[in-house]
Structure 1
């Protein structure tokens, strides 16, 4: 539905409402930041007697609010004169926990809240406004009706210590000493136990408090006391019963809205994020659901010029804690966005620098790329902290996990085997070069999020289509048949990135002129073959879009599967201690086996996405009517679905899952002082490598996608509409023929029969679990039940010999018992698969 009329009316009203508000945030130069205390004066000289008595001997700074630092008593006093005036409040963590699993990272920003102070009696209250429900109207009564209909929140209240004119003095320390970042809730949500702030071991860091014209930066040391029972806290904390973190509170002036910069309506094909709220003041025929594009404020110095310099460039600073050559790689990769901004008409509008020494990296005025250490490797992320009214970005904050680059090197070394006698001298260096190339791409990716850009997992269909995709290293075999990584990652932003910068930041005027220009950009993007599939349609195991793929590459999923299969086969055949540096303990060879053995894990997901696949466009009704984008969904062609099923069924065979004897014979248990962790295959054989657990994990990797309830439901429906499409019966028949119903396994495979039986049980357990999950349509569940009953009959009629006979007998009994009374059978959980992402 069109929102153009709503937009125009809303902007005029908001301009009127904010005409008297403060100017836009004026972030100072770094030189000015170093002089933060220059405004310090004597408190007594500025205030009357009552205020002077309360602030005698304290250091004063003027800013968004007046600030007095009481370092002797560990207090922060605020002078508040602007009551009922909204501003923004943001928490962050300068010192953090260090656990990827919990997610409380150094530099992490919290939720942006719009708040205001109110006076009631002799107390000052800090209230959080309910920005989810508004009335953007010039009528005060209309605005009040909505404000009174939805609850706000009182975040804090404190006694007024002194009042001079319109200025009220309060001790704000108790606010700072409370858990404003949600640390306790996060620890509880990750099952680490109940942690609470221990006031006796917490302190306001008054000496670090800073006031600026548009923001205050306040910090406290918080000690969280808890049970010390959680695995993740025990792993990282010096004392898991006493977890000490630092919490930063930033109080920020609201950005102004003026004629030079206006919020841009969000469109589903923009490739960006949005802020949204319900506006009850929209015309009755218009939607009350309002969405604005998240973006930085960017203004040309010459609005009439096609290409112009800007009034205030977007600058990002790289953490000084990042070592070389990482630091240079981060600067280089993040700087890729400069070319896209120039193509969009903004000269010298975007740059990346190393943070100068002595500058506060947590000051909300600076966009930061933080280099963050954790106990284990994990995700990186980028947060755009934005004005909830308009989507204007206040700050971009990137968190890059330091161990990811080491995992990339491990994967490269596991494929290149650079430590053998006859390995090329440059092979080890090539592994590091590949990891740094990935890091450049990652820096650009996460900075992209902080610029307002969402993931686009369909971009890989066009090669280096976008840094906003998740890239798999481009792997192949050289002329001698060895794996090659020389062109593993692309360089620079891609065509999708040029499109989203132009769409979200381009200057096209206002009103209808702007809307026509944006529609033209969308039409050109569709015509050029650019697709957009983001998280909502890509992350679920049962997701349907065949192009919304994480960690894939190439335009043809089937062809890439075959290409990676050849690399996997060669890498496993030659796998040896040549992949491991000489100083490493021998047991680490197992960890390096994992990414090679599971090399096709993401491309397997891509094949599964073809089954029951349905492509579609993120679009609007107007674009469909205009012929810019197609309507509806388009099923994956039947021949392609059948080819994908055939390849995935092969992954349940012992030929695919069994290791070469040459590898089995050299795997050595971890040395004393070391142990298997999450990066290893599980073992039920004490210290010895467990080839059966490995095979189970490999089979579970495919089973988790094939036997997803959403996928099975779609297969059934697609076949109901088109009998040529494969259905649930087709899938079941193919998988069982390659697993339980195999008549023999080649004797040449090391432990081949045992490996096949391990995979067979994973197949059966997966089928019973999806049947038991309650997410299948009744008729789809009925098909599975009939198929399982037929399998039980086949197993009884084909008893086999030896260990195969025992498994077939037990499997038939299990199936029949479950079908008689599901509650009488305790189903096994599926095998744990070692983590792959992030790579």
Structure 2
């Protein structure tokens, strides 16, 4: 009986299972029920009632729930599990307004360089994936390509749940949470800037539907994000955030995310050369032949295509380069920016293109500066002055520049105007100039901003700094390169008054034409575009034969750098000779500096602010001259290029440079005139002393010795830089005619001598500078970056100095007291070297744009 029952049950279950399989939709429904979800609706049904924005990635705005949806086309592969690739970038249309955070700052209009992304679907989930393009394979073998690709990680930026789907594979996802996240890393910048630990408060953040748009070539979502500090919002906030935010516990800005259609095929990458003046765009090719470099280097550049492939000169471009100046820049600055950026057309003409290939206009009314279609020159305002910069959105596959994005800080012009006021003391009757044409300070500022617009635009063309340009022989009114950092070329007229009429030259530079010729001249053979390596090499060889060289940041910015021609904010083919000239200009300006530097009704304490750039007018030319000491003249040599090999700077040039640099330690030069000190009152309410002013150890009053200390320390930090002094030791060992470290130290100690019988403040300045020299030598002797020989020489000179101070004390009580103190300090250093803590250097007010 049991066997009969088992047989019946088995036949019954088989029948029921067959019936289950045959029932329409039963299997799918059961699977869906088992997963706990309902069948997915069509995209149109799921988005009914929403605002639909068709485009590259169509967007749907659910106003009722405050959500934004993406309609992602999954037609990137046959299985409909992958979308096409896009260039993804993020920006800050509304930001923090400071140059102290996040590298260059957190500015309006700041934009990321761009990344390649795609969407990948796995079942109910869609991932936003950034592939790894830093490591590639040039092999045609799929296995070899996979071996490279699978050796390095990708980055999954976000994950989404599929909310609806179409038969063609298009999926709908709710991307609200991702668009309300901090993709621009504001929280990281605030934390690194010691402003507090912030996070996005979703209750005070929202998608902005009016700024969320979709077009055929790009789709954009913008959000207003509020950053709050800590869970309780009661923790301390940083000074910078407090300065720029109504309530520093709620920092509200806007972030924008954009997906951009990939450029059409046809772009021809151009190989990087270290002598061409460009940034490099690079990746590693793991299937490069053995013996060849894995690093594949190209230059970032815009796409320019000739209408007529056979054209050689005055060639019309299919799509000219068009830049737009922000309407937010005030006049007459706006027009100056248009004029300066427009200079680049001269360089493109020299590279074979027709006039108008590079155009600059004011941004049309209503146009969005963040739109990827516009190369933009933006005007931003900050709480303090800071760096301007040129950024670009770049195709990470090829290095093609998609969008140039220049950021110009509005504080730069105000600082330049202040410098001009200090130099000119133009308010003899206390009144401002009658009009713009007669405002010499304004004209100098506009000349500087023209050059600045050209400079930062150059970066968005792919160009790097050329800090050797100013050393090329040229007339003051001639531009060698707008990619250098120019110092104002100020002269002294026959009346003894400084003249800024020709402070900055006009037009694109000689070097700039060479660089554009290399990067943007197009070559065609039988109607096909290609890279003519021989022609490109000839462009650089011809420039080098004319004496034009390219030396960039890493060889110019460090205080201990060695190149005698690569400097920031300098002029002149001979740095030491130019320093002598600059000191003459400074002397002339200091003679007339006083109340005529400010307008009627201005607090006299404001003179202290103007005094800083004038008193330190020589600071950057001093850096240039100091680099000749222990200097090495060199090029970015490539085998077979015929350029000169490295050579030490000639001894005579180094001796001249040392003499010029030591003039900046002269007590007579550093002593402020008594009539000026008599009109410098303490700061009044509403005008506090800032980081832009000299340090004071005298409380509310102006401290002339603090000014002298800070100026002296600028020079001493250059002379006793360990890298420079290590070279002095080495080069003197190689060639006894080269100056020795001992000779530099001893000349420095002798540089503060003053005539017998000198009295007054100059004597106190001498004491202050002498003390700074001792402190600088102690720092050098204790520096871990010293070579053994450098440390030994510094300590030997300190031993000699201690003996001199104890056996030959000064003639008056102040001299004797200072000598005793310095001798005691040296003695303590030798007795307890492990416990020695160098006295901190006296910090001069910042000269270069604040923000680093």
**TM-score by shorter chain over 0.5:** yes
Partner residue in 1 for 2:53: 61
Equivalent positions of 1:247-266 (< 5 A) are 247-258=255-266, 261-266=267-272
Which is greater in Rg?
2
The separation in 2 between residues aligned to 1:563 and 1:531, in whole angstroms, is 25
User: Would the alpha carbon gap of residues 62 and 284 (structure 1) be closer, same or farther in structure 2, given more than 3 Å must change?
Assistant: farther
Secondary structure of 2:196's counterpart equals coil
| 2:10 match | none
Q: Kindly provide the CA deviation profile for residues 414-461 of structure 1, in whole angstroms up to 9, marking residues without a partner as x.
A: 111110139997896011011001000000000000011110011112
What SS is found at the alignment partner of 1:124? strand
- Give the SS at the match of 1:651: helix
Structure-2 residue corresponding to 1:16: none
Q: Distance in 2 between matches of 1:810 and 1:297?
A: 67
Q: Report whether the alignment pairs 1:486 with 2:501.
A: yes
Per the alignment, residue 128 of structure 1 pairs with 130
Which residue of 2 is the match for residue 159 of structure 1?
A: 161
Task: Tell me whether 1:651 sits opposite 2:659 in the alignment.
Answer: no
> Which of the numbers 461, 465, 482 marks the counterpart of 2:471?
461
Report the alpha carbon displacement of residue 249 of structure 1 after superposing the two structures with TM.
0.7
1:228–1:234 contact (8 Å) kept in structure 2: no
Displacement after TM superposition at 1:508 (Å): 2.4
- C-alpha distance in 2, partners of 1:802/1:107? 61
Q: Look up the match of 1:540.
A: 558
Tell me how far 1:737 sits from its aligned partner.
Answer: 1.6
- In structure 1, stretches of 5+ residues that fail to align are 1-47
Aligned to 1:105: 107
- 1:563 aligned residue (542, 556, 581): 581
Looking at structure 1, the residues matched to 400 and 181 of structure 2 have their Cα atoms a distance apart, in angstroms, of: 28
**Could you say if the C-alpha distance between residues 228 and 211 of structure 1 is closer, same or farther in structure 2, counting changes exceeding 3 Å?**
farther
- Deviations 1:725-759 (CA, angstroms, capped at 9, x unpaired): 112111111111224xx4x5665564122111211
How far apart are residue 80 of structure 1 and its match?
1.1
How far apart, in 2, do the equivalents of 1:621 and 1:231 lie? Answer: 53
1:662-701 mapped onto 2 (5 Å cutoff): 662-701=675-714
CA, structure 1 residues 810+274, in 2 after alignment: closer, same or farther (shift >3 Å)?
same
The answer to which of 316-325 and 752-761 deviates more is 752-761
1:247-646 equivalences under 5 Å are: 247-258=255-266, 261-306=267-312, 307-347=314-354, 348-421=356-429, 429-462=439-472, 463=474, 464-509=479-524, 514-623=532-641, 627=642, 629-631=643-645, 633-646=646-659
For residue 337 of structure 1, report the CA deviation from its aligned partner. Answer: 0.4
Cα deviation code 1:236-273 (max 9, x no counterpart): 11111111110011111222332xx3101101011011
Q: Match of 2:804, SS?
A: helix
Shift of 1:770: 3.0
**CA 1:649/1:145 → structure 2, altered by over 3 Å: closer, same or farther?**
same
Distance 1:55 1:799, change over 3 A: same
Once the 2 structures are TM-superposed, how far is the Cα of residue 51 of structure 1 from its aligned partner? Answer: 1.7
Aligned mates of 2:531, 2:423 — CA distance in 1: 54
| Partner of residue 821, structure 1 | 832
State the SS of the aligned residue for 1:244: strand
Which residue of 228, 237, 240 corresponds with 2:245? 237
The gaps in structure 2 that reach 5 residues or longer are 1-39, 75-81, 230-234
Q: In 1, are the aligned partners of 2:326 and 2:378 still within 8 Å (CA)?
A: yes
Counterpart in 1 of 2:33?
Answer: none
- What is the match of residue 41 of structure 1? none
1-side partners of 2:756 and 2:413: how far apart? 40
CA distance in 1, matches of 2:791, 2:377: 49
- Alpha-carbon distance between aligned partners in 2 of 1:332 and 1:512, rounded to the nearest angstrom: 33
Query: Shift of the alpha carbon at 1:118?
Result: 1.0
Indicate conservation of the 8 Å contact 1:267/1:619, yes or no. no
Per the normalisation by structure 1, the TM-score is 0.91
**What residue in structure 2 maps to residue 42 of structure 1?**
none
CA distance in 2, matches of 1:253, 1:746: 77
Partner-residue secondary structure (3-state), 2:330? coil
Aligned with residue 708 of structure 1, among 721, 725, 732: 721
Q: Is the 8 A contact 1:456 1:532 kept in 2?
A: yes
8 Å Cα contact 1:204-1:221 kept in structure 2 = yes
In structure 2, the residue matched to 1:171 is 174
Contact 1:112-1:386 within 8 A present in 2 as well: yes
Instruction: Please give the residue correspondences for 1:13-28 in structure 2 after superposition, counting only pairs within 5 Å.
Output: none
Q: What is the CA-CA distance between 1:654 and the residue it aligns to?
A: 1.2
Superposed CA deviations along residues 658-715 of structure 1, whole A, max 9, x for unmatched, are 1111211111222222111122111121211001110101101101211111111111
Deviation at 1:771, TM superposition (A): 3.0
Structure 1 721/119 Cα, relative in aligned 2: closer, same or farther at 3 Å?
same
**1:88 maps to which residue?**
87
Q: What whole-Å deviation, never above 9, does each CA across 1:161-205 have from its counterpart, x for those lacking one?
A: 011121011011111111111111111222222221122211111
Instruction: Give the match for residue 661 of structure 1.
Output: 674
Is 1:793 matched up with 2:811?
Answer: no
Deviation at 1:278, TM superposition (A): 0.7
Other-structure match for 2:184: 181
Determine the C-alpha separation between the residues in 2 that align with 1:635 and 1:793. 35
Q: CA, structure 1 residues 672+778, in 2 after alignment: closer, same or farther (shift >3 Å)?
A: same
Q: Please give the secondary structure, in 2, of the residue aligned with 1:155.
A: strand
Deviations 1:461-492 (A, max 9, x none): 23420111111111111111111111111000
Q: CA offset at residue 636 of structure 1?
A: 0.8
**Structure 1 residues 366-375 or 246-255, which shifts more?**
246-255
In 2, the alpha carbon distance for the partners of 1:746 and 1:761 equals 20
Q: CA deviation at 1:228?
A: 4.5
Which segment drifts farther, 77-86 or 105-114? 77-86
SS in 2 for 1:793: helix
Query: Measured at CA, do residues 512 and 100 of structure 1 come closer, stay the same or move farther in structure 2, by a change above 3 Å?
Result: closer
Q: CA deviation at 1:512?
A: 8.8
* 2: CA distance, partners of 1:284 / 1:212: 46
1:139: which partner in 2? 141
Q: Look up the SS of the partner of 1:78 in the other structure.
A: strand
1:71 aligns with 2:74: no
Deviation, 1:826, is: 2.9
Residue equivalent to 2:77: none
- Matches of 1:482 and 1:748, distance apart in 2: 28
Q: CA deviation at 1:606?
A: 0.8
Q: Which moved more, 1:163-172 or 1:421-430?
A: 421-430
Task: Measure the CA separation in 2 of the matches of 1:308 and 1:749.
Answer: 71
Q: Assess if the C-alpha contact under 8 Å between 2:310 and 2:524 holds in 1.
A: no
Q: Distance in 1 between matches of 2:401 and 2:759?
A: 59
1:345-390 deviation per Cα after TM superposition (whole angstroms, max 9, x unaligned): 1222110111111111111221111100001111100012211221
SS in 2 for 1:151: coil
C-alpha contact (below 8 Å) 1:69/1:207 kept by paired residues:
no
Q: 1:619 to 1:245 in 2, by over 3 A?
A: farther
Quote how far apart the aligned CAs of 1:622 are: 4.0
| Range with greater deviation from structure 2 (421-430 or 499-508) | 421-430
Aligned-pair Cα RMSD in Å: 1.8
Query: Contact between 1:413 and 1:428, CA under 8 Å: does it hold in 2?
Result: no
The aligned length equals 782
SS at match of 2:223: strand
Distance 1:302 1:60 in 2: 42
C-alpha distance in 1, partners of 2:720/2:422?
A: 31
Contact 1:474 1:487 in 2 (8 A): yes
> Residue 768 of structure 1 corresponds to which residue in structure 2?
778
What CA distance in whole angstroms lies between the structure 1 residues aligned with 2:199 and 2:774?
45
